[in-house]
Amino acid sequence: MSVDVAAEVTAAPAGGTAPRGIGAVPAPVLMLVGMVSTQLGAAFAKQLFGTVGPAAMTVLRLGFAAAVLLVFWRPSLRLDRRTAGAVTVLGVAIAGMNLCFYLAMARMPVGVALTVGMAGPLTVAALSSRRARDRLWAVLAGCGIALLGWQGGAAGISGLLIALACAVFWGAYVPLSARVGALLPGGGGLALAMAFGTLCALPAGLLEGGSALADPVVLAFGFGVAMLSSLVPYTCEMETLRRVSALVFGVLLSLEPAIGALVALLVLHETISPLQTLGLAAVVVASIGVIRGTRGTPVERDATSPDIPDSREQGLRQ
């Protein structure tokens, strides 16, 4: 794999001119920056849970990200019934995915919550394939999730169940985002869906956060989390997708759970057990196996298109 990946990643830009600015940064480095930024956003968000709580943090995260995307894309609000329905359902998936992810993070290490959630799109990709080998990758991922949930106690069980709910929403997000992207090319559909997702999460956020949501310091941190989790990774991934194949992009993105666990260790001093480490590795290997198994299929391109920037929107890829 290393030779093929290196050949695709280091391909010279068209026209023979030397790249400048962000174009001069190697694609793997851009992906690394984007993934580290996403996980730093998650770690900083968790640090605010004691002040505003996971639901309120979800509102801040989605609200600021939606505002930036709406200003940038300026989508029209005149939608036909079919498009409006697709945007609405995607908004619900976005709200559920992010809310469940933050609720799971409050009960378990960030790396564990992220890895379990990532099983959603992994399962969608595996089940959409007709190859028996890809079904086996899904089984391996399931075994990895079982190891990740091996914490014992009510907190471990509730956290695992919430993370599995995140996986369901995340798995639904993939085809829904592709559908909205087909109906509304560009990022306008995602911006509208994220705005609706913010409205969906708003009641729980207001109930939990209350007056804290009006605190300028909290708002500033919320804006920073939104930019770290959305703007930076979106920019890095868009640039990476211009230069590498969907296969290489997907393989690089599959490393995010490990990066999430490392960032959580450095920022939050969170550790995971040897069994959980083994489970995380199993999910990462299964993800890479599924991506490589779908080489050249339409599913591969849909699952890693620019309209699904932050899956993890990663996108909201968490």
Name the least confident of 3-7, 55-59, 210-214, 310-314: 3-7
Give domain status of residue 282, yes or no: yes
**3-class secondary structure, 57:** helix
Residue 127 lies in a domain: yes
CB 221 within 8 A of CB 64: no
> Mind listing the pLDDT tens digit for each residue in 67-77?
999 999 999 99
Average pLDDT taken over every residue of the chain? 82
In terms of C-beta density within 10 A (0-12 exposed, 13-18 middle, 19 or more buried), how is residue 276 classed?
buried
Residue 4 lies in a domain: no
CA dihedral (26, 32, 35, 40) positive or negative: negative
CB 109 within 8 A of CB 270: yes
Asked whether residue 9 is assigned to any structural domain, the reply reads no
For residue 169, give the H/E element and its range: helix 153-183
**Top-ranked range on mean pLDDT: pick from 80-94, 134-148, 267-281:** 80-94
> Residue 306's CB: how many other CB atoms inside 10 A?
15
pLDDT single digits (tens) 202-253 = 999 999 998 888 999 999 999 999 999 988 998 888 788 788 877 778 778 8
Q: What share of the chain is helix, strand, coil (3-state, %, to 5)?
A: 75, 0, 25
- Report yes or no: 129 and 141 within 8 Å, Cβ to Cβ: no
Residue 162 belongs to a domain: yes
Question: Which residue matches tokens 């999910």?
Answer: 283
317 domain residue, yes or no: no
pLDDT digit string, tens, across residues 139-153: 888 888 888 876 655
Q: For residue 173, what are the domain limits?
A: 28-303
On whether residue 22 sits in a domain, the answer given is: no
Nearest-CA neighbor of 122 among 318, 315, 299, 307?
299
pTM recorded for the entire structure:
0.82
* Span of 9-13, 38-42, 187-191, 242-246 with lowest mean pLDDT: 9-13
Residue 14 falls inside a structural domain: no
Number of domains in the chain: 1
